[in-house]
Amino acid sequence: QKEVEQDPGPLSVPEGAIVSLNCTYSNSAFQYFMWYRQYSRKGPELLMYTYSSGNKEDGRFTAQVDKSSKYISLFIRDSQPSDSATYLCANGTGTASKLTFGTGTRLQVTL
Amino acid sequence: DSGVTQTPKHLITATGQRVTLRCSPRSGDLSVYWYQQSLDQGLQFLIQYYNGEERAKGNILERFSAQQFPDLHSELNLSSLELGDSALYFCASSVEAGRGNTIYFGEGSWLTVV
């Protein structure tokens, strides 16, 4: 079992829809949680970072962490075609520097 | 543009050969990370250096090695290349170690082994 699991998709939604991307993890040592966006053949770009259970909002993006169920979500409101990318969740521990990534969910927002 | 520079962007080489990938971190960043991304494995952490010293090691093969130089740029050396080494290799940097929220990735080096 991988430490971080994501549904690979692809997930196709119409423009303006609310998108829900999900991630589960198995390592209880993970203390901080991130979402990265990666366009095709580009480097991952940090979208959201959080280290506690609950919600964190930044513009159209909301990250939600439930440590009790080891479940992480990213919500995108008013989705745009420019949101079409692969979304990677990443987890890390407090003392280690390396991040453990999920394999990513490919999102396609159609006009 | 994250500020992390990687060269070369694309590289095609034969099995058994050796290649060197180069990374310049963002100005002021002391920590450099190397990740490998393949279709079936996703992003895998290879190794981290902080201010010239190895800080953490992941699933890095013995055929691979890395170093960080006094000017903080880093090189990843891949030797005795196999077809399965074909992947995107990313370098990332951060100001300090242990702070995941400040890790910035470069655009990657696409390695194809034929």
> Along the 111 residues of chain A, how does pLDDT read in single tens digits?
788 999 888 999 999 999 999 999 998 888 888 999 999 888 999 898 888 888 999 999 999 999 999 999 999 999 999 999 999 999 887 655 678 899 999 999 999
d(CA B96, CA B74): 16
- The answer to whether the Cα torsion of B53, B57, B60, B63 is positive or negative is positive
Contact status of B75 with chain A (Cβ, < 8 Å): no
pLDDT at site B97: 65
- The predicted pLDDT at position B51 comes to 93
Q: Is A38 exposed, middle or buried (0-12, 13-18, 19+ CB in 10 A)?
A: buried
3-state secondary structure of B8: coil
Chain A hits for B45, CB-CB cut-off 8 Å, are 98-100
pLDDT confidence of residue B98: 61
- Would you state the pLDDT for residue B66? 97
What pLDDT is attached to residue A95? 58
Q: How many CB atoms are closer than 10 A to CB B13?
A: 16
Per the CB < 8 A criterion, the answer to whether A42 and A88 are in contact is no
pLDDT number for residue A19 = 97
In B, which residues are within 8 Å of A99 by CB distance? Answer: 45, 100, 103
Q: B-chain residues within 8 Å CB-CB of A98?
A: 33, 45, 48, 56, 58
Assess B79–A contact: CB distance below 8 Å, yes or no. no
Question: Min CA distance, A91 vs chain B (Å)?
Answer: 8
pLDDT (0 to 100) of residue A96: 56
Q: What is the pLDDT of residue A89?
A: 93
Which parts of chain B register pLDDT below 70? 97-101
Distance in angstroms (rounded) separating the CA atoms of residues A105 and A38: 10
Nearest alpha-carbon partner for B82 in B46, B112, B39: B112
